[in-house]
Amino acid sequence: MKNTLLTITAAALLATAGNLQAVEGNSSPYTDAAGDIDPGIANAGGTLDILGMEVTNNATDITFTLSLNGNISTTDWGNFMIGISTGSTAITNTGNGWVRPIQLNSPVGGMDYWIGSWVNTSTSSNTNTGIVTTNFGGAQLWTYGTNWSGPATLAGYSFAAGATSSITYTATLASLGLAVNDTFYFDAYSSGGGGTDSAVDALANPNVSITAWNQTYTSSTTGSGGPGLNSYQVVPEPSTVALLALSALGVAGYAARRRARK
């Protein structure tokens, strides 16, 4: 019986290494309904249709992996963004790093970080060497102070094409002002290439987000009457939690041995 109880305690400690429940009752990977794009708006062969996102972290970095309902290699267009609210004193409720009609209001305030990315290819040539370089997409990190500053380079960015495609973003925790046990709020968006294009699809909203390209979209919790918003708590690395669990087991075992000797 004692061994069983100790096993349960260790498992409970290890479980804290996973994501906490999201604001809308979702846990990572966060899911979104398929086909929730207004029929009057182009969906880029389905690639603007967000299916979900997985969020994970280690001791130094946080990784967002976005899943899309189409093959980004056959459409070659589309922009994908993440709005983040960490509760810092520098926040905005009305804008983002790309000056798009997309806003975010969370329980701890507005948006203070913005990740913007694109998957379309582009070419550039060096006039001195004549070498032509093909660039396969890119990503930027923007930070809000008294206004938006950037762009900064992410720690990592890549995408994989297929019947369903994925885009992976990695940022350092430091670049987002985050540390272990911090909770932040976020939403992810798909959009077109125009500077005034809004959120064609939003991760935290299972319904149609906009019915016109330039319509303003605001992410906020359903509890406040909004269309949806997710949260994530930065957790210790699983190895760290496992060490804590083993340490707890060791202390319990030592205490049990001392009691047995008395």
- CATH number, domain of 87, equals 2.60.40
The span from the CA of 35 to the CA of 190, in Å, is 13
Instruction: Give the residue with greater pLDDT, 116 vs 136.
Output: 116
> Is residue 128 domain-shared with residue 203, that is, in the same domain?
yes
Strand partners, 54: 65
In this model, does residue 257 exceed pLDDT 90?
A: no
Q: Is 57 exposed, middle or buried (0-12, 13-18, 19+ CB in 10 A)?
A: buried
* Mean pLDDT across 210-225: 96
> Is residue 41 domain-shared with residue 135, that is, in the same domain?
yes
The number of domains in the chain is: 2
* Mean pLDDT across 95-123: 93
> Is residue 156 domain-shared with residue 102, that is, in the same domain?
yes
> Is residue 82 domain-shared with residue 9, that is, in the same domain?
no
Residues of the domain holding 91:
22-235
> Is residue 5 domain-shared with residue 49, that is, in the same domain?
no
Average predicted confidence (pLDDT) for the chain? 84
The pLDDT value recorded for residue 134 is 58
| 149-176 tens-digit pLDDT | 999 999 999 999 999 999 999 999 999 9
> Is residue 146 domain-shared with residue 254, that is, in the same domain?
no
In this model, does residue 56 exceed pLDDT 60?
A: yes
> Is residue 134 domain-shared with residue 166, that is, in the same domain?
yes
* Mean pLDDT across 107-117: 97
The pLDDT value recorded for residue 244 is 44
> Is residue 242 domain-shared with residue 223, that is, in the same domain?
no
What confidence tier does 245 reach under pLDDT thresholds 50, 70, 90? Answer: very low
Q: What is the model's pTM?
A: 0.81
The span from the CA of 24 to the CA of 222, in Å, is 7
> Is residue 131 domain-shared with residue 255, that is, in the same domain?
no
The pLDDT value recorded for residue 85 is 97
Look at the block and give the residue holding tokens 């396969």. Answer: 136
In this model, does residue 17 exceed pLDDT 60?
A: no
Amino acid at 128: N
The pLDDT value recorded for residue 126 is 77
> Is residue 114 domain-shared with residue 49, that is, in the same domain?
yes
| Residue 183 near residue 232 (C-beta atoms within 8 A) | yes
Q: Are strands 61-68 and 79-85 parallel, antiparallel or unpaired?
A: unpaired
| 20-53 tens-digit pLDDT | 333 364 568 899 999 999 999 999 999 999 999 9
> Is residue 158 domain-shared with residue 61, that is, in the same domain?
yes
| Residue 248 near residue 206 (C-beta atoms within 8 A) | no
In this model, does residue 249 exceed pLDDT 90?
A: no
The sign one gets for the Cα dihedral 45, 51, 57, 60 is: positive
> Is residue 143 domain-shared with residue 196, that is, in the same domain?
yes
Q: What percent of the chain has pLDDT over 90?
A: 70
